[in-house]
Amino acid sequence: MTEKTPSMEKVLATQVPAYVENLFASEVFATEATFFSAGNGTVSITFSSHRWDNSTSSPVQKRVVVVRLIMPIPGAQGLAAGLYDYLKKHGMDPAPAPSNPAPIQ
């Protein structure tokens, strides 16, 4: 077994693996991110979708969990920053300034 020297670890930590496209990767549609939690160095995001339950005579809309995404904290931070930047750049500012800000006293 090869021991990693401090300089090797520094090189390994700064190298970004090559991106490999997968045209057959799964896709999931979600109406909303329903729940967030963090622990053990990861962030978990639960996504749900609004669906109609037609099993009764009076259909009822429900929020159904469709997928959970669990990421290491640095990856989740990158996701949050990247999504924020993307939305803002495309005119969908996730934190717009209030139109009538309260006066500062």
Residue 17 lies in a domain: no
Sign of CA dihedral 81, 87, 88, 89: positive
Domain membership flag for residue 82:
yes
Q: Is residue 36 part of a domain?
A: yes
Considering the domain boundaries, does residue 47 fall inside one?
yes
DSSP E strand boundaries for the chain: 32-39, 42-53, 60-72
Domain that holds residue 79: 29-89
Instruction: Compute CA 75 distance to the chain's CA centroid, rounded to the nearest angstrom.
Output: 9
Q: How far apart are CA 54 and CA 51, in angstroms?
A: 9
Q: pTM value?
A: 0.71
**pLDDT-based confidence at residue 2 (cuts at 50, 70, 90):** low
Secondary structure element (H or E) that encloses residue 89, with its range: helix 73-89
Count structural domains, the chain: 1
pLDDT tens for 31-68 read 999 999 999 999 999 999 999 999 989 999 999 999 99
**Is 98 inside a domain boundary?**
no
In a domain, 83, yes or no: yes
